[in-house]
Amino acid sequence: MDIAEGMLQHAREQGGAHHHVAGDAERLPLRDASVELIFSSLAVQWCGDFRAVLSEARRVLQPGGVLAFASLCVGTLHELRESWQAVDGLVHVNRFRRLEDYQRLCGESELQVLSLAARPHVLHYPDVRSLTHELKALGAHNLNPGRPAGLTGRARMQGLLQAYEGFRQPLGLPATYQVVYGVLQKPSVEGE
Ligand SMILES: C[S@@+](CC[C@H](N)C(=O)[O-])C[C@H]1O[C@@H](n2cnc3c(N)ncnc32)[C@H](O)[C@@H]1O
């Protein structure tokens, strides 16, 4: 399932799933107690209402069913965020929920939290352009939210490249993805 038809088409071309359904994680187009397992990869960070995601998961899961998700939290792309801040003091990277918010919302849901933890994954890129190219596909990065007075687009980009170079490691320019992994279960008996 994905909210974007284009992504479903891409997934169809890859094969591997029997059904591809357009739908919103905050309003699942599925019947109550109809699935045993929900597995979600890198999607729910875009859902403004994570409480709704959890309550929808609870609704469609069968008793004993499991929701397993991987998502992103604060700390993701901190190198890019800090580099932009050094250039123009603006935030160019989407804000992510804090791990504490995931913990609170999962704890308040009527699902049992089997595990919930964050782990950093650091990818390396040869240059900033290859990173921002990839981020465009992810939708995590906004390069042009308005131009501050005094700096041309070219000067800002030069400033960004220079600032990001400060993070360079032997493997290349690092980009940290702070990944939160959650496994939650719907109680087998209502009210447990
Ligand atoms: C980084 S991609 C991950 C795609 C796929 N799950 C994977 O692991 O390869 C994020 C996906 O989340 C989808 N998405 C964003 N908001 C959504 C929502 N409210 N409900 C369902 N999918 C959503 C986007 O359309 C996008 O395809």
Long-range contacts, stretch 13-22, CB < 8 angstroms, 24+ apart:
none
Single pTM value for the model: 0.89
Q: Is the CB of 41 under 6 A from ligand 1?
A: yes
Q: Is the CB of 24 under 6 A from ligand 1?
A: yes
Domain definitions of the chain by residue range: 31-185
Pairing type for strands 112-125 and 173-185 reads antiparallel
Residue reference for tokens 């597995």: 39
- The pLDDT, as a whole number, for residue 89 is 79
- Residue 10: what residue type? H
Cα 155 to averaged position of ligand 1 atoms, centre (Å): 34
Residue reference for tokens 């990869």: 41
Please provide the distance, in angstroms rounded to a whole number, between the alpha carbons at the two ends of the chain: 29
Segments in the chain below pLDDT 50: 143-145, 147
> CB 142: neighbour CB atoms within 10 A?
15
Alpha carbons 88 and 159: distance in angstroms, whole number: 9
- The pLDDT, as a whole number, for residue 155 is 85
- Residue 166: what residue type? G
Q: Which two tokens stand for residue 134?
A: 């990839």
**Which superfamily does 31-185 belong to?**
Vaccinia Virus protein VP39 (3.40.50.150)
- The pLDDT, as a whole number, for residue 63 is 98
Substitution candidate for ligand 1 out of 1, 2, 20, 76 with most atoms within 8 A of CB? 2
- The pLDDT, as a whole number, for residue 144 is 42
- Residue 145: what residue type? P
- The pLDDT, as a whole number, for residue 152 is 64
- The pLDDT, as a whole number, for residue 153 is 78
Q: Is the CB of 7 under 6 A from ligand 1?
A: yes
Q: What are 128-169's pLDDT values in tens digits? A: 999 988 887 766 555 444 545 555 678 888 999 999 999 999
